[in-house]
Structure 1
Amino acid sequence: MVNINTLDPSASPLDYYGFELRRYREAAGLTQRQLGDIINYTGSMVGQVETARKLPTLDFSQRSDAALCTGGLLTRLHPLVMRSQLPAWFQQVAELEVRAAEICTFQMGMIHGLLQTPAYVRAVLGALDDTGLDDRSAVRLARQCIFDKEEPPVFWMVLSEAALRQGIGGPEVMRGQLAHLLTFENNPLINVQVLPFSAGAHAGLTGSFTLFRSASDPTIVYTEGYGSAHTTANPDTVKDCSLRYDHLRAAALSIKDSAGLIREVMEDRYGEHVA
């Protein structure tokens, strides 16, 4: 007899997802293997998701919704499940990303997570520890679904030139990452400006930070430490960081010139070279 774990749907979003998946499957009169055959996944995968031992993918959720006629429930639950798997200290930030109408970020040494490619994500997260790397990478990438909302946020990234030249993951990964940044060149909702080395001393020397703005909530400033996140709506801090961001954006290259520098670095530093 198959050992069926009893899930408490209130324990976590992942448990709730598994509970609902099992409930709909059983209501349809399907075994795990039969559902797996229909959605092109193994019965084992279905079982692991139902018992909260495996994270569902978006594709798995969409196929299960279609097969079980859930009205899109599992697909709607998927972002919540993925956010719940982020480090506890970062979950509040992920919520801010979802609710923001505008996100303005300055990044010193690394591309912001919302614009990272899968290969770049794996290189960043696997630098010291590759345990559970597939799931951890999927969780980070799932944050990018905010750009698929009916009303996505305006995203503005001022990026130090250092982040373009820091060869995370090697030349191939960096070529792909920089090429990905270039895909937003003509997207008015996702803007990338590069702060060149030639700018010298600038308003962001104290470190990376992000501003979250919305129509109904106060502006939030987010800074990150080692294994921790600090958010504040303190008016003085918000005023100071907003001023700093305005100066950074003014000192950075234009969007067009930033794309030109990205292309230059991609070709000169990470291009194919024949010996």
Structure 2
Amino acid sequence: MVNIRSLDPSASPLDYFGSELRRLREEAGLNQEQLGDIVFCTASLIGQIETAKKVPTREFSERLDAALLTGGVFSRLVGLVLKSQLPTWFQPYADMEAKATYISTYQSQLVYGLLQTEEYARAVLSVENPGRLDEMVAARMERQRILEREHPPVLCVVLDEAVLYREIGGAEVMRNQLAHLLGFLDDPWIQVQILPFETGQHSAMMGSFTLLRFDDDPDLFYAESYDSGHMTANPQVIRERSVGYARLQASALSREDSAALIERVMEERYGHQPGPAVA
């Protein structure tokens, strides 16, 4: 039987998406099975999304727009839906990350979220979110869309060398992730550097952190604990962490030497995976 559970469109972006899908489907004179046939999915999936029991993907949303001639309604809505799937404590940071014109980050254990492959992200997120894994992965991939803008933010990433050796998701996932990092070698707006073990003590021994810079707003410092994030615009903190980050970059390998190390680890530890030629 078709699920006709009523929704409160104001309850959440997901509820609003579901109510709009039902409304526009019915206006088009289609039942769930008919629409499912058009967008290559089951009637059950249509019903689950209409009743806010399942989160739509961007690809599904784009197919809906094409099928129902909505002018991009669902493609615009899905961004809000996916952002709402992020942990509540993380959403303020995601909002500011999306507005930043310059992002500089040091990561001690994991590849920065904006540069993760889907398989790597799935392995990372499966540890704490097995029941909502698809939604969380989709939300992380949605964050990466800021790098596809006509004017993307400048992104400077310093990864501890340990990130290359921490096997997340198995050898194949790591091969693909490291190859993905190599793919940014010629990107004018993205710089990836590796902080080698030989550096010893350094200015970020306390752990990972990110600095966000904006055109018209104060800079922000962000760091995470187990299940919370701390964000501040305190000028003294920004000053200290900015100097600390500059020292990290100076201690890290150059962009080209970093790529050479990534390629070497990829081949020696995880098996050969063709990547961009390194000068």
2:103 pairs with 1:103: yes
Match of 1:20 in 2: 20
CA distance in 1, matches of 2:216, 2:103: 15
CA distance in 2, matches of 1:79, 1:103: 21
**How far apart are residue 86 of structure 1 and its match?**
0.7
Match of 2:246 in 1: 246
TM-score (norm 1): 0.95
2:134 pairs with 1:134: yes
- Pairing of 1:161-176 with structure 2 (within 5 A): 161-176=161-176
Q: Which digits, 9 at most, give the CA deviation of each residue in 1:82-110, with x for residues without a partner?
A: 11011100011111121111111100111
C-alpha spacing 1:186/1:65, structure 2 compared with 1 (3 Å):
same
| C-alpha contact 2:129 2:136 (8 A) present in aligned 1 | no
Match of 1:232 in 2: 232
- Pairing of 1:198-217 with structure 2 (within 5 A): 198-217=198-217
> What SS is found at the alignment partner of 2:110?
coil
C-alpha spacing 1:43/1:2, structure 2 compared with 1 (3 Å):
closer
CA distance in 2, matches of 1:17, 1:125: 25
**How far apart are residue 146 of structure 1 and its match?**
1.3
> Greater shift after overlay, 214-223 or 120-129?
120-129
> What SS is found at the alignment partner of 1:211?
strand
Match of 1:31 in 2: 31
**How far apart are residue 175 of structure 1 and its match?**
0.7
| C-alpha contact 2:9 2:19 (8 A) present in aligned 1 | yes
Match of 1:125 in 2: 125
TM-score (norm 2): 0.94
Amino acid at match of 1:6: S
> What SS is found at the alignment partner of 1:88?
coil
CA distance in 1, matches of 2:207, 2:265: 23
CA distance in 1, matches of 2:57, 2:120: 19
CA distance in 1, matches of 2:76, 2:135: 19
CA distance in 1, matches of 2:137, 2:3: 30
- Give the share of equivalent positions with the same residue, in percent: 56
Instruction: Please provide the CA RMSD for this pair.
Output: 1.3
2:268 pairs with 1:268: yes
Unaligned runs of 5+ in 1: none
CA distance in 2, matches of 1:10, 1:128: 29
Match of 1:148 in 2: 148
Match of 2:4 in 1: 4
**How far apart are residue 129 of structure 1 and its match?**
5.3
Match of 2:276 in 1: none
Match of 2:116 in 1: 116
| C-alpha contact 2:103 2:211 (8 A) present in aligned 1 | yes
**How far apart are residue 128 of structure 1 and its match?**
5.4
**How far apart are residue 228 of structure 1 and its match?**
0.3
C-alpha spacing 1:209/1:177, structure 2 compared with 1 (3 Å):
same
Match of 1:193 in 2: 193
Q: Which digits, 9 at most, give the CA deviation of each residue in 1:192-238, with x for residues without a partner?
A: 01011111211111111001111011111100001000000111111
- Pairing of 1:73-88 with structure 2 (within 5 A): 73-88=73-88
Structure 1 runs, 4 residues or longer, greater than 6 Å off: none
| C-alpha contact 2:104 2:211 (8 A) present in aligned 1 | yes
CA distance in 2, matches of 1:13, 1:129: 20
**How far apart are residue 143 of structure 1 and its match?**
1.2
> What SS is found at the alignment partner of 1:131?
helix
CA distance in 2, matches of 1:150, 1:18: 30
